[in-house]
Amino acid sequence: MLCITMLSVEARNPFVLDSDMLESVKKKYGIGATTRLIDWQNMINSDQSKNDLEILQKVNDFFNQVKFIDDWLLWKRSDYWATPVEFLVENGGDCEDFSIAKYFTLKKMGVDEEKLNMTYAKALRLNQAHMVVTYYETPGAEPLVLDNLDPEILPASERNDLMPIFSFNGSGLWLAKERSRGRKVGNSDRYKRWMDLLGRMPKGLE
């Protein structure tokens, strides 16, 4: 019942991208970039999912169509966090960009922020830092993992290739503890890249 109520609230507040921005994107990046943005907007506004799991699958599949591109190649920076608009316009980004786009879209489509984290982990097979979105159906539950490396949404216990380090969302920052959310160590506003990202988010998606 709670999920149905939240989705109804979102339906009364549709997500509308700025028309001037869309026109600017079309001129600079072409019709393909504009189409991706409109498809994203339509997915959010036309969603009829019956529960969180359906929303998770829809959002994960949508963004996993985007190409992985390293920050140095795309932005000429070592670590740039793109907004979902930038991510879709460029049709590419790294693991943080996939996770950011999924996280904010899930929120907009009615998934409770308290159920969502962005989790930094070590990708053991690649031997490098990685970011995923984790979903907790209930507090303390084993999370589901939304990832661009593996398109299947799996429980954390089935992702032995990932070693969690810490996680955060709009309300807090946690140290990883085995497969649970872990111990809260502060507020996410301590994280400068997060605050910079929020300042660049499109209206209606903060």
Classify residue 142: in a domain, yes or no.
yes
Residue-wise DSSP of the chain: -HHHHHHHHHHHS-----HHHHHHHHHHH-HHHHHHHHHHHHHHHT---SSHHHHHHHHHHHHTTSEE--HHHHHSSSS----HHHHHHHTEE-HHHHHHHHHHHHHHTT--GGGEEEEEEEETTTTEEEEEEEE-SSTTPPPEEE-SSS-S-EEGGG-TTEEEEEEEETTEEEEEETTEEEEEEE-GGG-HHHHHHHHHSPTT--
- Overall number of domains in the chain: 1
The CATH number of residue 131's host domain is 3.10.620.30
Q: How far is CA 202 from CA 1, 85, 105, 106, 124, in A?
A: 29, 8, 12, 15, 34
List, for residues 137-177, the tens digit of each pLDDT value. Answer: 998 899 999 999 999 999 999 999 999 988 888 766 655 55
Q: How far is CA 181 from CA 74, 81, 143, 152, 194, in A?
A: 32, 23, 8, 21, 19
* pLDDT > 90: percent of the chain: 70
Q: Mean pLDDT, the chain, as a whole number?
A: 87
Classify residue 141: in a domain, yes or no.
yes
Classify residue 5: in a domain, yes or no.
no
Q: What is the pLDDT of residue 166?
A: 84
What is the distance between the alpha carbons of residues 136 and 156, in angstroms, rounded to a whole number?
10
Classify residue 12: in a domain, yes or no.
no
Geometric angle at alpha carbon 124, from 119 and 129, rounded to 5°: 45
* Other residues' Cβ atoms within 10 Å of the Cβ of residue 153: 16
Tokens of 167: 């996680």
Classify residue 162: in a domain, yes or no.
yes
Q: What is the pLDDT of residue 2?
A: 38
Classify residue 136: in a domain, yes or no.
yes
Q: What is the pLDDT of residue 13?
A: 79
* pLDDT > 70: percent of the chain: 84
Q: How far is CA 69 from CA 28, 87, 98, in A?
A: 20, 10, 11
Classify residue 13: in a domain, yes or no.
no
In this prediction the pTM is: 0.87
Q: What is the pLDDT of residue 78?
A: 87
Question: Residue 140's domain spans which residues?
Answer: 18-200
Tokens of 65: 């169509």
Q: Would you place residue 179 in the very low, low, confident or very high pLDDT band (cuts 50, 70, 90)? A: very low
Classify residue 112: in a domain, yes or no.
yes
List, for residues 51-90, the tens digit of each pLDDT value. Answer: 999 999 999 999 999 999 999 999 999 889 999 999 999 9
